[in-house]
Amino acid sequence: MSRLVRLYPRRWRDRYEEEFLSLLEERPPTMSDRVDMIRGAVDAHLNPQEQAEPTPWTYRIPGFLALIAGAMWSAAFIAFVFWHERAWGLAGLVPISMLLMFLSLPGDYMAAHGRQIAIALGVVGLCIVVANLPYSLPTAIAGIAGYLIALGGVLTLAAIRAEIGPSGRWTLLVLAVLLPAVIGFPLALGLGDISEDKAWLLGVLLPYGFAWVFVGLRLAIRGSATLIDPPLNPIEPEARAA
C-alpha cells in the first residue's frame, strides 16, 4: 500500500501522504483502487502544475546531475571497452562525472548526511593521493579499496536520497561496486600500469555508471529539495528514524 504511495512525486507526498495513507487504512484498497492509484501517480508526475503546491523545477536538479554523471561515466567506460585505442581522450569524463555525483548530493538531505558526504570526499581525496604514488602492491590495494569505499558510499547516499530501500541499495552496491571489484581486483593488481591493450578491463566499472543512471532517473522523477529551496520535510537519517 505505502509502496504505491511512493510512486507519487515527493512534493505531492509532502502535502497529501498522511491523509492519503489514513484514507487507505480506513478503506483498504481493492485491485481497481490500486490501478487507480497508479493512474493518479502518473497524473501527478505528468501534471505537476495541477497540484496544490507544484513541485519547483529546482527539485529536478539533483536527479539530472546524477543522471548526467551516470551517462558520462558509462560513456567513458563503454569507450574503454569498445574503442580502447582512442578511449583515453574520453577519460576526462570520469573526474567530471565524479564531480557531478558529488554535486547531486547537497540539499535538505545534506543537513542529515553532511558528515558522511564529507568523509566520502575525504576518502576520494586520499585515494587520489595514494593512486599517484609509485606503483606497489600495498598502494594499489589501498588505492582500489579506498575508491571502492568512496564510490560505494557516494552511490549509497544518492540512493538514500532517491528513497531506494535497504534491499535495493544493497543490490545496487553488489551489482555496481562489489561484484565488479571481485572480478576486477585480481586483474587490475596484476597489471600495474594499465596499458592501452588491456584498457578493456576497465569495463568492470561500467555497472557503476548504469547504477547512477538508474538512481538519477529515480531522483529526477521524485524530486528533492536543493540548497536554494526551503526545506519542506528534511530527510532524517535512517539511523535516527530507527
- The site for other proteins (CB under 8 A) is made up of 12, 16, 18-24, 26-27, 29, 32-33, 35-41, 43-44, 50-52
> Residues with Cβ < 8 Å from 159, sequence gap 6 or more?
168, 169, 172, 215
Which one, of 154, 11, 144, lies nearest residue 73 by Cα?
A: 154
Q: Which is nearer to other proteins, 52 or 137 (CB)?
A: 52
> Residues with Cβ < 8 Å from 184, sequence gap 6 or more?
201, 204, 205
Phi/psi-derived region of residue 30, left when phi > 0, alpha when psi is between -120 and 50, beta in every other case: beta
- Closest approach, Cβ 5 to other proteins, in A, equals 9
- Closest approach, Cβ 205 to other proteins, in A, equals 41
- All cell numbers assigned to 196: 592501452
Written in H, E and C, the secondary structure of 130-181 is HHCCCCCHHHHHHHHHHHHHHHHHHHHHHHHHCCCCHHHHHHHHHHHHHHHH
- Closest approach, Cβ 43 to other proteins, in A, equals 5
Q: Which is nearer to other proteins, 22 or 195 (CB)?
A: 22
Q: Which is nearer to other proteins, 8 or 77 (CB)?
A: 8
- Closest approach, Cβ 18 to other proteins, in A, equals 5
Q: Which is nearer to other proteins, 47 or 136 (CB)?
A: 47
Handedness of CA 174, 176, 177, 179 (dihedral sign): positive
- Closest approach, Cβ 235 to other proteins, in A, equals 20
Q: Which is nearer to other proteins, 22 or 167 (CB)?
A: 22
- Which element (helix H / strand E) includes 195? none
Q: Which is nearer to other proteins, 29 or 56 (CB)?
A: 29
Q: Do residues 32 and 61 touch, judged by C-beta distance below 8 A?
A: no
- Closest approach, Cβ 30 to other proteins, in A, equals 8
